[in-house]
Amino acid sequence: MKNIKYNSIFLLILLAFSAQAQKFTASLKGYVKTTAQQGIAASTIRIGDLNSSTDEAGYYEIKHIDQRSVTITASAIGYRNITKTIVLKAGENTFDLELTSDQKEIDQVEVFGRTKAQEVNRQAFNVTAVDATKLYNTTLNISSALDQVAGVRVRESGGVGSNFNLMLNGFNGSQVRYFIDGIPMENFGSAFQINNIPINIAERIEVYKGVVPVWLGSDALGGAVNIVTGDRFKNYVDASYSFGSFNTHRTVINAAHTTKSGLFFQLNAFQNYSDNNYKVTVDVADLNTQQYKEGVRVKRFHDTYHNESLIANIGVVNKPYADKLLFGIVLGKSYKEIQTGARMETPFGGWHRRGTTVMPTFKYKKSDLFVKGLDLTLNGNINVGTEQNIDTVYARFDWYGNRKYIPGKGGESSYSMYKYKNNLAVANAILNYKLSENHSLSITDVFNSFKRMGSDEVNPQNTSLERAKLSQKNVLTFGYQYDVKDRYSVNAFVKNYHQHNVNGANELVKDLSKWGYGTALAYYFTPSFQLKGSYELTVRMPTPDELFGDVENYEGNFALKPENSNNFNLGINYDFALNAANRFSLMANAFYRNADNFIYQRLNNNQTKYISDNRDGVRSIGGDMDLHYSHSNWFTAGLNMTYQSVVNTQKYEPDYTGISPLYKKTMPNIPYLFGNLNAAVTLYDFGGKDNKLTFGGSLQYVHRFWLYWPLLGGTDEESEKRQIPMQMALDGNVVYSIANGRYNIAFEGKNLTDNRLVDNFSLQKPSRGFYLNLRYFFNK
């Protein structure tokens, strides 16, 4: 508890330094356009030592300008450079730049302009950034976009709103941490998860594999996913609505407005709804005779899901005392019917869950605090929402939806109306000091607090539910960086982890404390060819759900130990061009993970729920590659592949004499070979000026893998049932954009070949479906 108290004091001290003396500070924003007034992506804008890159729309922004008269230079591949001298006023300024084409440079191109996502990929860390702006006219959510990244496999148990498990280089579940704008998402509640957040919320998605940068500062064993919402536009509206198969409806509204005085308003709202009544092939049991009829095609009948979420922020930007000072609220609610448990043998017809999110938020950022080069970021939020499990029917159901009254204690899994409140709070502080042009120091502190209390009105005698379950965690990180742009980069850091847990039901208390450290290095042979490597001794503390359970499909295990891993990465980034029209981009990485006290999921003793347990050791070795090709500006294609070998290194098993027969054997229920292929063709000025028509398609492949230990299987028919078969999913889309992207209409087809898709044993995913997406975008 002392560490947590001291680190909390550290946060308070940082808060005390948030005042700043008055001085001249300005920001500059605008667009870089062609002579035809089309935005130019990946342009570079420089003002002295400050620089920025334009996004897909040609938008740029440069902050913290301390001079009134400045010289601005804009450059882009295929265009002549332009230089202007302008006079700024304090606060926000707007200035657009127009570039003329340079055919000679196009013919002799040898270097590449880079988007923000491409710049992220050039960090010393093993990172892949997804440019979310290219996916805005799709119905994808965050997890669907991540499923197309090399090294990542997202496994879902069903359709919209179903449980999911993201695997990254062999590690999965809570071993991978999630952030939004660098803020941990551990307390966002069931209404706000990556499988129900629309892609339009993000500007890009950053996937850090194995080694996590200092400024994220969390206990991620296998890596981290950071959703970056960005500051794309100061005044805009982006609204979309989609509908399609299985009565699926999605709505997204994003809007922001900044006044001339610096007052800032932001709104993000979205909803998802689906009956999820797609067809599945199952063995149907007669409710009276219990005789099974095999291989029957039926519709899911109790799998409706919907969620509604709203994020609102109000505050000021570009002030002498704050680059950003925002107060906000996150509101959400979710409803989820539960069709099956961990297997599909027995359907449910009444069991469901409800959840709410009520989370006030605070965000503060200030560059050059007191002295030039000292930057401070503070974030805080607390979720006081509730979750409820409702399982009260006195009945059993078959796959046709027929109902049979069953006397007794009631409930399909466990008679319950258990309602609980997870008081989840997160506070983080990032202090960065730039010692010189190339050297910087940083301190990051992340504090999490979890307190669960609940009651069950149909089981009032169970007073243990009312006893608080408590978990407090603090991660303190110290880092150093030496960086010379396009030459080399050196990062080093050390972390302290501390966790305090109380299991109220049994009045058990446990304190855990660990240290970790790491480094990330990069060297540029040329500006377009980079070699990089990274290492981290990382630690992950057990999550509240792993310790206490989630009352649906997860049983708690308070005896869990922290897991740790030695993570190594080695990779290259290489951009090259055959000529001006044909360009390639290659990212290839090898990884090694050696974990102790590895936390993994298994079925509990009665095979009805999952439970987490420790293994003495697990080793993961493999590699992934991502190759992209573009021809001029009308054709693109991409291919990525991942291979990983995840092996058990626990030599001795409990209650077993001698060396375990599972020693150095492949871990079960983990895909080891998978990949994605995609291509798109774009026709410009189709049907009118500034209109474009795009045809796209993607193919996902997952090789078959074992559900149980391969050693325990054979070659007979029963052994085949112990495998998750090869998966191949083909999707396609057509997108028509009008008036330079203001009006958009898209038609999508998913699982076009109507294959039987399963990520988890027997839990079938949606059959073939079609969706229409309408989107309107306006900015100024």
CATH number at residue 617: 2.40.170.20
Residues 635 and 764 in one domain: yes
136 burial (CB, 10 Å; 0-12 / 13-18 / 19+) is: buried
Looking at per-residue pLDDT, the higher value among 454 and 517 belongs to 517
Phi-psi region of 740 (alpha: psi -120 to 50; beta: other; left: phi over 0): left
Please give the Cα distance from 113 to 117 (Å, whole number): 12
Residue 775 · residue 240 · CB < 8 Å: yes
Q: Which residues contact 98 (CB under 8 A, 6 or more apart)?
A: 32, 33, 34, 35, 82
Query: Poorest-confidence range of 566-570, 672-676, 712-716?
Result: 712-716
Residues 103 and 122 in one domain: no
| pLDDT number for residue 693 | 96
Residues 132 and 35 in one domain: no
| pLDDT number for residue 233 | 63
Helix (H) or strand (E) holding 13: helix 2-16
Residues 296 and 242 in one domain: yes
User: Which of 109, 141, 168 is the C-terminal boundary of a domain?
Assistant: 109
Cβ neighbours of 247 (radius 10 Å):
12
Residues 759 and 631 in one domain: yes
Residues 73 and 142 in one domain: no
Looking at per-residue pLDDT, the higher value among 190 and 704 belongs to 704
Proportion of the chain above pLDDT 90, given as a percent: 55
3-state SS class at 487: coil
For residue 60, which of 48, 76, 44, 77 has the smallest C-alpha distance?
44
Q: Over 90: is that where the pLDDT of 115 sits? A: no
| pLDDT number for residue 464 | 66
Please give the Cα distance from 423 to 382 (Å, whole number): 7
Query: Poorest-confidence range of 436-450, 596-610, 650-664?
Result: 596-610
**pLDDT-based confidence at 9, cuts 50/70/90?**
very low
Residues 626 and 672 in one domain: yes
pLDDT tens digits, 708-727: 777 765 444 455 557 888 99
Helix (H) or strand (E) holding 146: helix 142-146
Residue 325 · residue 316 · CB < 8 Å: yes
Give residue 691's domain range.
117-779
Q: pTM here?
A: 0.84
Cβ neighbours of 617 (radius 10 Å):
18
Residues 100 and 121 in one domain: no
CATH number at residue 100: 2.60.40.1120
Q: What is the 3-state secondary structure (H, E, C) of 302-370?
A: CCCEEEEEEEEEEEEEEECCEEEEEEEEEEEEEEEECCCCCCCCCCCCCCEEEEEEEEEEEEEEECCCC
DSSP characters for 600-630? EEEE-TTSSSEEEEEEEEEEEEEEEEEEEEE
pLDDT tens digits, 744-754: 999 999 999 99
**pLDDT-based confidence at 16, cuts 50/70/90?**
very low
Residues 84 and 157 in one domain: no
Q: Over 60: is that where the pLDDT of 17 sits? A: no
655 burial (CB, 10 Å; 0-12 / 13-18 / 19+) is: exposed
Residues 90 and 180 in one domain: no
The number of distinct structural domains making up the chain is 2
Q: What is the mean pLDDT of residues 67-77?
A: 86
For residue 723, which of 709, 741, 742, 704 has the smallest C-alpha distance?
704
The owner of tokens 């050791």 is 617
pLDDT tens digits, 282-317: 999 888 888 889 889 999 999 999 999 999 999 999
DSSP characters for 17-48? T--------EEEEEEEE-TTS-B-TT-EEEET
User: Which of 80, 109, 138 is the C-terminal boundary of a domain?
Assistant: 109
Angle at 165 between CA 206 and CA 352, to 5 degrees: 125
Residues 58 and 135 in one domain: no
| pLDDT number for residue 700 | 97
pLDDT tens digits, 415-430: 889 888 888 899 999 9
User: Which of 45, 76, 109 is the C-terminal boundary of a domain?
Assistant: 109
Please give the Cα distance from 135 to 144 (Å, whole number): 11
Q: Over 80: is that where the pLDDT of 466 sits? A: no
Task: Indicate the length of the chain as a whole number.
Answer: 780
Looking at per-residue pLDDT, the higher value among 512 and 534 belongs to 534
**pLDDT-based confidence at 446, cuts 50/70/90?**
very high
Residues 442 and 551 in one domain: yes
Looking at per-residue pLDDT, the higher value among 37 and 277 belongs to 277
Looking at per-residue pLDDT, the higher value among 607 and 28 belongs to 28
